[in-house]
């Protein structure tokens, strides 16, 4: 008789290179994280420590639901977000999200030459 439950999408809770717990699934010999950690999604077993495995639990869904529940609990406060950021306390640090996106400006372009900088002069060809 077949089970009515669908298999869990992320049944592993792993620690990559000693980092925080991350939901993951196994694909062949590699573990695939639910979100990017340490600049990667795919990790070999030698870089991963399996903290928990339960084929009936979806660790990623559990984390997401806990985060949404925490946001719902803090919503009735109706306090502006900017004021929370300016009053940083140790208690406020624990309310921070598990991960946050930081936009990188990318590689910097070279600065244009200034009036006082030396001009580039091509060198003569060899042997002339």
List, for residues 12-40, the tens digit of each pLDDT value. 999 999 999 999 999 999 999 999 998 89
Indicate if the pLDDT at residue 2 is higher than 60: no
Please tell me the distance from the alpha carbon of residue 47 to that of residue 29, in angstroms, as a whole number.
12
- pLDDT value of residue 6: 72
Which stretches does DSSP call E strand in 8-115? 12-16, 21-27, 30-37, 40-43, 48-53
Q: What angle do CA 34, 35, 38 make, to 5 degrees?
A: 125
- pLDDT value of residue 1: 46
Residue labelled with tokens 């495995």: 53
Indicate if the pLDDT at residue 115 is higher than 80: no
- pLDDT value of residue 29: 93
Domain coordinates in residue numbering, the chain: 1-74
DSSP secondary structure code for residue 110 in this structure: P
Q: What is the average pLDDT value for the chain, to the nearest integer? A: 78
């Amino acid at each position: 008789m077949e089970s009515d439950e669908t298999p869990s999408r992320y049944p592993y809770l792993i620690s990559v290179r000693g980092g925080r717990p991350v939901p993951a699934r196994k694909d062949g010999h590699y573990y695939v994280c639910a979100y990017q950690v340490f600049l990667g999604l795919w990790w070999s077993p030698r870089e991963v420590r399996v903290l928990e495995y339960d084929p009936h639990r979806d660790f990623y869904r559990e984390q997401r639901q806990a985060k949404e529940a925490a946001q719902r609990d803090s919503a009735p406060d109706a306090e502006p977000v900017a004021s929370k950021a300016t009053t940083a306390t140790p208690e406020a640090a624990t309310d921070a999200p598990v991960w946050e996106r930081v936009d990188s400006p990318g590689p910097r372009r070279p600065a244009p030459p200034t009036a006082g900088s030396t001009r580039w002069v091509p060198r003569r060809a060899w042997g002339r």
